Amino acid sequence: MKKPLLYAVLLPATCLIIFWYSLCTSVVSQPNGYVYYLRPNLSKKTLISELAQQGVLTHPWLFSLYIYPQKKAQLKTAEYVFPPGSTPRSIWRQVTTGTGVLYHTFTIIPGWSFNQLRQALAQAQSMQHLTASLTDLEIMERLGQPALSPEGEFFAESYYYTRDTQDLVILKRAFILMQKKLEEIWQMRSPGLPYHKAYDALIAASLIEKEAYLDTERPIIAGVLINRLNKGMLLQFDPTVIYGLGTRYDGKIHKKDLQENTLYNTYLHKGLPPTPIAVPGWSSLEAAVKPQQHGYYYFVAKGDGSHQFSETLVDHNVAVKQAANK
């Protein structure tokens, strides 16, 4: 074969090999991949320029040649994760099919008040914060529940979302999940409980959540609550007093606090408070509808996360003195 003919064959073949090699060679070496936000209305030219500037595309002109025949392919707005080992070809496939999107996490913690939930939501990254200027009532109106207190109505769970998701979307998902879980737990309730509706169980579960530290004690504390309700006794749960004080609570319950006539002071008002006082976790919801049957009417914190339970006031007073002397 003559040299000119040989060059005519080898040169295009070599260029083709180099071309495909550049497209199929890994360009992402970061262990956690590379995050890139493809903004709305971003042009292909700008995409290539930005990826080249950030070192993701080492041969942008070859990449331009590759995508040129694919004029009809549309870029999908999203925040992407280009995983380790990504190639220019796989990156193009991601940004035109909308795959490999980055998901953020927002977690609602059991025991949070709605105010704490709102504070955490306001700090969530990559989210549209529409509720910052809304009152609690306005938020519930947006969720289609204007007559319902937001307290305790959002299920404690981790929620995944993509960039620019509205915070109201997260709240809507958490609210719907709580309604589903509450209906489920209501069907599991033991017979003869002094609850008139599922909402009562939700309120009781919030009290249990705030009183219990150990999961093993939740059913026991629930049993105390039920015993006192059945006997018409004041519940006398300290967290309800604290909730009623709001921002005036200074970290310690004073005698005057127990005498303040708020709707949530269970030292003054019999029965359950008017609304939940926090987000109950699943174990507290379960304890509320399946309380342990026993003869306890009193309990006091022992200082190590556990409680001393008593059947009589005399025994309870002894337990209180013992706890105070530790």
Confidence of residue 19 (pLDDT cuts 50, 70, 90): very low
pLDDT at position 283 = 97
Distance, CA of 224 to CA of 293 (rounded, Å): 9
Mean pLDDT over each residue of the chain, to the nearest integer = 90
pLDDT at position 27 = 56
Q: Write down the pTM of the prediction.
A: 0.87
Residues 6+ apart with CB under 8 A from 233: 270, 297
Percent of the chain with pLDDT over 70: 91
**Mean pLDDT within 35-43:** 94
**Mean pLDDT within 258-265:** 95
Q: Which of 127, 52, 131, 136 is nearest to 88 (CA)?
A: 52
What CATH architecture is 22-97? 2-Layer Sandwich (3.30)
Q: What is the pLDDT of residues 74-98, one digit of tens each?
A: 999 999 999 888 888 888 999 999 9
pLDDT at position 75 = 95
Backbone φ/ψ region at 164: left (φ over 0), alpha (ψ -120 to 50), beta: left
Cα dist. 243→67, 174, 182, 199, 258 in Å?
61, 22, 22, 18, 12
Q: What is the pLDDT of residues 135-183, one digit of tens each?
A: 999 999 999 999 999 999 999 999 999 999 999 999 999 999 999 999 9
Whether the predicted pLDDT of 218 surpasses 60: yes
Question: CA gyration radius for the chain?
Answer: 30
**Mean pLDDT within 211-228:** 97
Burial of 53 (C-beta count, 10 Å sphere; 0-12/13-18/19+): exposed
Q: Where are the domains of the chain?
A: 22-97, 109-181, 190-324
pLDDT at position 4 = 52
